[in-house]
Amino acid sequence: MEVYPRGSKFWRLSFMRGDKENRRSLWEYPEFSLQAAREASFDFKRKAKNDTPPEDAPPLALRDLGAEWFDRRKPILGQSAICHTEIIIQNNIMPRLGHIDVNALTPRGILEDLARPIEASGKTSVSRAAVSVLGRILRYGIATGRCERDCTRDLAGALAPHQTAHFNTTSDPDEIARVLASLESVRGDAGAALRILPYVFTRPGELAGAVWQEFDLEEATWRIPPERMKKGRPHIVPLSRQVIGMFEALPSFGNEKGPVFSFGGRTRPAVSFSRTFSGAVGRKGLITPHGFRAMASTILNEMGYNCDWIERQLAHVEGNAVRASYTYAQYLPERRKMMQDWADYLDSLKARPRPAVAACKGKRG
């Protein structure tokens, strides 16, 4: 058994072919038991004894190995993770490296053909994500005995550092009032979702992908399942009177199941969501859909609400995974009152007299 620094364990078989020592990966432990590893080893030795050692494996394109790995990962990934990983694979890894045999990949080739071109476009986080996903594909190939090594491990220190960019936001009441007013004219389900988002301040994708099974409007509660949350933990959103009214006004209201919002059949509703928002607000850089979370956090803290209530409502999870799995409903009565007060605050801003000069400047056509 070979143990990697990060704790992964693999069964390895060493054998001689001529004067050269060779190694073959049998499977990953504990998925492959000791008995199964022994049986695979005996089978290999039996063939070698009969002078029929296994032939070298035929070339395996990265595209084929990646598709197999992704199909196996899908059942255990959340929807957002599936979407993100699929985009990384289809838009970044496979167009550049998909045709190459997995055992012909080199650290320099990965750096020059994959990482550097993405970094040159300013997307350092995408570059790092692509290398990370590629590494997982190659390690799957190692575990299944078809790939010799993970070349991405040799890129440590060679990738451009990523500077974390904070989502644009604002806490100025006049600016918030202007943003809320600009969203009133947006039509369709995207407009309705954008008007709800500041009131619930979930992550945009969590609202865009909502289904009616998650809601109990009589109890004023929205329960988001763990597979749709960023950290894989369930989350509860208490619903204010205003938010319930907006949900009841939706065309899909009355359905017992199915999507709450329709985004024209798009596979990535959050993308349509963000683009619609940018077009409505018109002032690029003022605030983003995700920025409503920081906006709510800042103002609620300034209003004197308990920081633990706010963090729990933002679904900022505990470092202890076990404890976090039991505390998602913590402070729920207090959070209900806080969310209603927050909705009343936003309504008070919307009721403010608007300035004579529009704040959102843009071309009229």
- Domain chopping of the chain, boundaries: 2-49, 62-155, 173-350
Residue 354 tokens, joined? 């608007």
Whether omega before 30 lies within 30 degrees of 0, making that bond cis, reads: yes
CA 143 to chain centre: 25
CB atoms within 10 A of CB 31: 9
Taking each helix axis from N to C end, the angle separating 269-281 and 188-200, rounded to the nearest 10 degrees, works out to: 90
pLDDT at residue 35 greater than cutoff 90: no
228: confidence class by pLDDT, cuts 50, 70, 90:
confident
Q: Give pLDDT tens digits for 50-62.
A: 655 445 556 889 9
Question: 2-49, which class in CATH?
Answer: alpha beta
pLDDT of residue 168: 72
pLDDT of residue 358: 42
pLDDT of residue 275: 64
Most confident of 93-102, 117-126, 185-194, 200-209: 93-102
d(CA 327, CA 341): 23
Q: Is 25 within 8 Å of 19 (Cβ atoms)?
A: no
Question: What kind of architecture, by CATH, is found in domain 173-350?
Answer: Orthogonal Bundle (1.10)
Q: How many residues can be counted in the chain?
A: 365
Q: Give pLDDT tens digits for 70-118.
A: 998 888 877 667 888 999 999 999 999 999 999 999 999 999 999 999 9
pLDDT of residue 186: 83
Structure-derived torsion over alpha carbons of residues 112, 164, 205, 75, reported in degrees to the nearest 10: 50
Cα separation values, 250 from 1, 245, 247, Å: 58, 9, 5
Mean pLDDT of the chain: 80
Q: Is 192 within 8 Å of 246 (Cβ atoms)?
A: yes
pLDDT of residue 189: 86
Residue 21 tokens, joined? 């020592």
Residue 216 tokens, joined? 């109990």
d(CA 355, CA 345): 19
d(CA 296, CA 294): 5
pLDDT of residue 278: 56
d(CA 68, CA 308): 43
Alpha helices in the chain (DSSP H): 34-49, 62-73, 79-88, 94-97, 107-110, 116-120, 124-143, 173-183, 188-200, 204-208, 241-248, 269-281, 291-302, 307-313, 321-326, 332-350
Looking at residue 211, what DSSP letter applies? Answer: B
pLDDT of residue 163: 63
Tell me the whole-structure pTM to 2 decimals. Answer: 0.58
CATH homologous superfamily of 62-155: Tyrosine recombinase, N-terminal domain (1.10.150.130)
Looking at residue 61, what DSSP letter applies? Answer: B
Taking each helix axis from N to C end, the angle separating 332-350 and 241-248, rounded to the nearest 10 degrees, works out to: 70
Burial class of residue 150 (count of CB atoms within 10 Å of its CB; 0-12, 13-18, 19+): buried
* Mean pLDDT in residue range 281-302: 79
Phi-psi group of 353: left, alpha or beta (phi > 0 → left; psi -120 to 50 → alpha; rest → beta): beta
Q: Give pLDDT tens digits for 229-268.
A: 887 889 999 999 999 999 999 999 988 889 998 865 444 5
pLDDT at residue 307 greater than cutoff 80: yes
The proportion of the chain whose per-residue pLDDT surpasses 90, expressed as a percent, equals 41
pLDDT of residue 122: 84
Judge whether 62-155 and 173-350 match in fold. no
